[in-house]
Amino acid sequence: MATTNGVSNGMTEQCDVCDTETLHEVSIQLVTEGGDEDTAQFSREPYRVRECIRCGHRDSKRMNNA
């Protein structure tokens, strides 16, 4: 665990790899997106990261669709 900056819990969600609903570990992480250093502090976007407990498949989704 590199960072605990966010909530973490288990949720049952659809896994594309398992092709069924499995337990996922879900966390919210702030990701600094690429850009100028001057604006880096303004480009931290919350991502919803989830990892399938069963197969280990991991994906992240940007929460703010700007």
Residues that bind Zn ion (CB under 5 A): 15, 17-18, 22, 52, 54-55, 57
41/57 Cα distance (integer angstroms): 30
Whole-number minimum distance, CB 29 to Zn ion, in Å? 20
Whole-number minimum distance, CB 3 to Zn ion, in Å? 23
Sign (positive or negative) of CA dihedral 24, 9, 48, 3: negative
24/15 Cα distance (integer angstroms): 8
Task: Tell me whether residue 13 or residue 33 sits nearer to Zn ion (CB atom).
Answer: 13
Whole-number minimum distance, CB 9 to Zn ion, in Å? 17
